[in-house]
Amino acid sequence: MTPRIALAALTLACLATLGHAQQAKLKVGLMLPYSGTYTALGVAIENGFKLRIEEQGGKLGGREIEYVKVDDESDPSKATDNVNKLIKRDNVDVIVGTVHSGVAMAMAKAAKESGTILIVPNAGADAVTGPMCAPNIFRSSFSNWQPAYAMGEVAAKQEKKKKAITITWKYAAGNESVNGFKDGFEKNGGQVTKQLNVPFPNVEFQALLTEIAAAKPDAVYAFFAGGGAVKFVKDYAAAGLNKTIPLYGPGFLTDGTLDAQGEAAQGMLTTLHYADGLNTPRDTSFRTAYAKAFKLQPDVYAVQGYDAAQMLGIGLAAVKGDITKKAEFAAAIEKTKIDSPRGSFSISKSHNPVQDIYLRKVDGKENKMISIASKSLADPARGCKM
């Protein structure tokens, strides 16, 4: 081969590689619970995420999507190893996860250190968009403070309750949810008289329900979700407490759980950034598409997964699929209103949704929207320096 022909061949090979690189698939690491008490939540998030990708023809920013999945088991002790498998072994371009706040904090630390884009589709850990906030970390869901604070306000101002007992799993999400409720409740004249805890994911509630019955507060505020929420709401009713002491919570207590909770949940008031009966064209088309694809009604977790994919799509469209352009990717998400089934929302400077929080009431198998408890509620983002 003459030097000229060799050079031409090399140039052609380079061009072919470049073309291939431009079209390389975008690797999305889904780190979610696929076992344990939060399994249904992980599955709903994945469903919602994939629904949006399918609606976009399987591509975002011109790139096809490839998935790598890790079951995080909602176990913080395995979280660093699990997230590093995605970052270092699988070389993912983006991580989407997770549900459990303790696991999410380990993921945020790894994402911050490596610079990998992370979109959190549930875990409300205040720290993720507080002291741990970073230009490459986003949340499509909520902070633990948001729905809890709104419920505290409703319990004191609208329901006129004075004394409340709180009960939760003892880990970041439960502790922060209780603090948020206390914040809203006590600012409006209420008082939290006792804070009860069980270890995560324990569901032995009997002794604590006996304690609540003896104390006779005006209300109980509880943070549980998934399988634990089903058990708690049923045990509360089986103890007869739902007849005398109203049970409030963030909407996780009754979202995606009503089939299993049945009669025990009827009439319960909760606050959340999603509800049944919104009846907007955007929500109706989402719900119809979700039901058709999965033969299931969507819940808040499905919406958060769907919106994680919407946020990723907005960022990738702005950089034409080149996810290494992180500043432009972030700027696009920061300036766009996300057209969510929950109602449109914006992303705060700390990268958490600024969104309406609905007051909902359980009616049959629905968490029916009653009113907007808190309009465009932003997390205080304490400790975020960005």
Angle formed by the axes of helices 281-294 and 300-318, nearest 10°: 110
Q: What is the DSSP string of 310-367?
A: HHHHHHHHHTTT-TT-HHHHHHHHHHSPB--TT--BEE-TTS-EEEEEEEEEEETTEE
Q: Which is nearer to ligand BEZ, 92 or 225 (CB)?
A: 225
Q: Is 119 among the residues that bind ligand BEZ (CB under 6 A)?
A: no
Question: Which residue in the set 181, 252, 274, 286 belongs to the binding site for ligand BEZ (CB under 6 A)?
Answer: 252
| Interface pick for ligand BEZ out of 39, 47, 101, 271 (rule CB under 6 A) | 101
Q: Which CB sits closer to ligand BEZ, 308 or 323?
A: 308
Task: Kindly identify the residues of this chain, within the stretch 39-68, that bind ligand BEZ according to CB under 6 A.
Answer: none
Which amino acid type is present at position 96?
V
d(CA 43, CA 105): 21
CA distance 239 to 207: 11
Stretch that binds ligand BEZ, among 97-105, 204-212, 286-294, 344-352 (CB under 6 A): 97-105
If the CB atoms of residues 205 and 252 are measured against ligand BEZ, the closer one turns out to be 252
Q: CA-CA distances (angstroms) from residue 3 to 7, 17, 95?
A: 6, 21, 45
Tokens of 203: 């569901």
Measure the CA–CA gap between 256 and 314, rounded to whole angstroms. 28
Of the candidates 50, 52, 63, 100, which one interacts with ligand BEZ according to CB under 6 A?
A: 100
Q: Which residue in the set 36, 48, 121, 124 belongs to the binding site for ligand BEZ (CB under 6 A)?
A: 124
Nearer to ligand BEZ, 176 or 276 (CB): 176
Q: Smallest distance from the beta carbon of 173 to ligand BEZ, in angstroms? A: 3
Question: Phi, psi at residue 224, to the nearest 5°?
Answer: -145, 160
Smallest gap from Cβ 142 to ligand BEZ, in A, equals 8
Closest distance to ligand BEZ from the beta carbon of 276 (Å): 18
Print the binding letters for residues 137-176 with ligand BEZ: x by CB under 6 A, - otherwise: -------x----------------------------x---
- Return the range that interacts with ligand BEZ (CB under 6 A); candidates 53-61, 117-125, 231-239, 264-272: 117-125
Q: For residue 357, count other CB atoms closer than 10 A to its CB.
A: 28
Q: Which residue, 166 or 315, has its beta carbon nearer to ligand BEZ?
A: 166
- Identify the residue among 26, 65, 99, 167 touching ligand BEZ (CB under 6 A): 99
Where do the DSSP E strands lie in the chain?
26-32, 59-60, 63-71, 94-96, 117-120, 137-139, 163-169, 191-198, 219-223, 247-250, 269-272, 346-347, 353-363, 366-377
Complex with ligand BEZ: residue 60 or 105, whichever CB lies closer: 105
Comparing CB distances to ligand BEZ, the nearer of 229 and 318 is 229
Query: Using the rule CB under 6 A, which residue among 123, 127, 154, 384 binds ligand BEZ?
Result: 123
Q: Segment contacting ligand BEZ (CB under 6 A): 116-124, 241-249, 281-289, 335-343?
A: 116-124
Q: With binding defined as CB under 6 A, does residue 225 bind ligand BEZ?
A: yes
As measured in angstroms, the least distance from the Cβ of 210 to ligand BEZ is 26
Q: Of 73 and 93, which CB lies nearer to ligand BEZ in the complex structure?
A: 73
Structure tokens at 38: 């939060």
Rounded CA-CA distance 342/275 in Å is 8
Residue 21 Cβ vs ligand BEZ, minimum distance, rounded to whole Å: 37
**Closer residue to ligand BEZ (CB): 94 or 128:** 128
Amino acid at 117: I
Alpha carbon 366 to its chain centroid, in Å, reads 20
**Angle CA(27)–CA(30)–CA(33) in degrees, nearest 5?**
165
**Residue 180: helix, strand or coil by DSSP?**
helix
Q: Interface with ligand BEZ by CB under 6 A: which residues?
A: 99-101, 122-125, 144, 173, 225, 252
